[in-house]
Structure 1
């Protein structure tokens, strides 16, 4: 019975790693679609989001089954609960990548906003891609130093979002109402993506250490 339990825990971990990898791919493609205006890449992100959702449902089902049938305690319980919550967070990151891609697709063949605001949003999307790569590696390696770095780097996206607001209200850009909406949403989606990465980092810290670390 114990061997079956550990086999199921291993499967849970593999599903979580696969989900994190797919979220990274989604964000990478969403950033590319935003930068280049490639409508095909944008649609790939939107279509792939359902696969991320399916993985999240699979993880939920497996976690509920493990809790009901195995009644894990201590470290094993922490493992299951952490996986359950991280899957929910990764699913939200997948949704955010889809939202970025949808804006890129909706403004095709033009960019959503003019420079220098557009370049700043592209910079934000690149930072989100780097963050998603780190999260994917973190879930696989459980490196506490990497978890700390992810939390610290969230300040980068926060600062870029603040800079984007300064540009949005700059009258010299003469943004249309739609451009203001797109810019605010893109900045918010990308900033929230970073927040969710920090949430995953804290969950991994809790999983490894049994407690969270204050920043």
Structure 2
């Protein structure tokens, strides 16, 4: 019975780690669709978003079943409760990748981004994908050092997000209000995506130590 129970807990963590892989792939495709005006990639992200929703639903169902049938305590209880919250964070990451893809589809065949900001969004995409993949590894390994690294890694995304405002406020911006709105919203999507990845890592710290390493504000 105990082995079966432990397998259930491990399966719960594995499902969340798989979700991280799914949302990393979604952001990678969404970023390419944005940069390359690739409608097919945007459509793939949009149609595949349901997979993340289904994994979240399965994870929550398993977590609530464990609460009801096993009455977990201590670390086991923290695992289950953190899984419920973490599934929500990861699903939100998928939703944000979806928003990026929807922006690319909405403007197609016209580009969403002016050429001079494309390198910044390429980097935001790279950072976001790396954060999601690292969050998945943190879930699998409960590596506190790697969890702490996500906080530092997120600084790069914050710097890129702030830089977008410098670009938009520059007197040489000649692309009009609509492009400025698109850039502002898209940069925010990437920044929030990264914040949710950090929130997932913080919940793993809570699982291991019983203490949340700072407020989760996302």
* TM, length-normalised to structure 2: 0.92
- Asked whether the equivalents of residues 34 and 113 of structure 2 are also in contact (C-alpha less than 8 Å), the reply is no
2:201 is the counterpart of 1:201: yes
Q: Which deviates further from its counterpart, 162-171 or 45-54?
A: 162-171
Aligned ranges 1:184-199 → 2 under 5 Å? 184-199=184-199
- Asked whether the equivalents of residues 139 and 204 of structure 1 are also in contact (C-alpha less than 8 Å), the reply is yes
1:78 aligned partner? 78
Deviation at 1:214, TM superposition (A): 5.1
Q: Which runs of 5+ in 2 are unaligned?
A: none
2:100 is the counterpart of 1:89: no
1:166 aligned partner? 166
Q: Distance in 1 between matches of 2:214 and 2:62?
A: 31
Q: Distance in 1 between matches of 2:118 and 2:35?
A: 9
Q: Distance in 2 between matches of 1:54 and 1:214?
A: 30
- Aligned residue pairs, count: 215
2:14 aligned partner? 14
3-state SS of paired residue (2:110): coil
Structure 1 vs Structure 2 CA RMSD: 1.6
* TM, length-normalised to structure 1: 0.94
3-state SS of paired residue (1:130): helix
Per-residue displacement from partner, 1:141-179 (whole Å, max 9, x unpaired)?
A: 221111111011111111111110111122322222221
Q: Distance in 1 between matches of 2:146 and 2:110?
A: 37
Return structure 1 stretches of 4+ with deviation > 6 angstroms.
none
3-state SS of paired residue (2:113): coil
Q: Which deviates further from its counterpart, 171-180 or 95-104?
A: 171-180
